[in-house]
């Protein structure tokens, strides 16, 4: 039966016990952790490349859903391709825009095409949606 030793070297029983063999393996692994400078540089370069790589957008992204995009995805797509609506003026009144407003479909739906959205301030967006709804009732 191997001798059980606390990782801290004490016999308090509070720490997860390890066998003497496990402690020897852990000590051997620590010695390989301090690698050569060249190995550390290669590892650092791989990590930096992964962090700074351009994000995969559009069909190049493996999670791309094409025209099956949901409402949030459609709005994220518009913002990614055309920027935030707050950078533009409302197409109705010329005040700073608050929202991207869908112009080709009834309110409550969305389009995968970013060109189907216009920048509108909140009040014009609400008026536009209400006007669209009243057109459908006629």
Domain co-membership, 81 together with 122: yes
Domain co-membership, 24 together with 48: yes
Q: What percent of the chain has pLDDT over 70?
A: 67
CA distances from 133 to 66, 75, 90, 107, 129 (A): 28, 21, 20, 7, 6
Q: DSSP assignment of 69-112, as one string?
A: --HHHHHHHHHHHH--GGGSB-TTT-SBP-EEEE-SS-TT---S
Residue 133 pLDDT: 73
Please tell me the distance from the alpha carbon of residue 91 to that of residue 66, in angstroms, as a whole number: 28
Average pLDDT of the residues of the chain:
77
In a domain, 29, yes or no: yes
Residue 15 lies in domain: 4-52
Q: DSSP assignment of 96-107, as one string?
A: BP-EEEE-SS-T
Domain co-membership, 48 together with 73: no
Question: How does pLDDT run across 113-138, given as a tens digit for each residue?
Answer: 889 999 999 999 999 988 877 766 65
């Amino acid at each position: 039966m191997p001798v059980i030793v606390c990782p801290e070297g004490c016999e308090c029983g509070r720490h997860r016990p390890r066998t003497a063999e496990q402690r020897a393996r852990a000590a051997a692994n620590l010695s390989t952790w301090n690698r050569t400078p060249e190995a550390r540089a290669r590892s650092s370069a791989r990590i930096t490349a992964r962090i700074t790589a351009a994000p995969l957008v559009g069909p190049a992204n493996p999670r791309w859903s094409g025209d099956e995009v949901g409402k949030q995805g459609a709005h994220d797509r518009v913002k990614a391709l055309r920027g935030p609506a707050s950078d533009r003026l409302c197409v109705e009144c010329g005040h700073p825009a608050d929202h991207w407003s869908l112009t080709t479909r009834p309110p409550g739906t969305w389009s995968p095409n970013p060109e189907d959205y216009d920048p509108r301030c909140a009040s014009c967006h609400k008026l536009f949606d209400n006007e669209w709804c009243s057109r459908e009732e006629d």
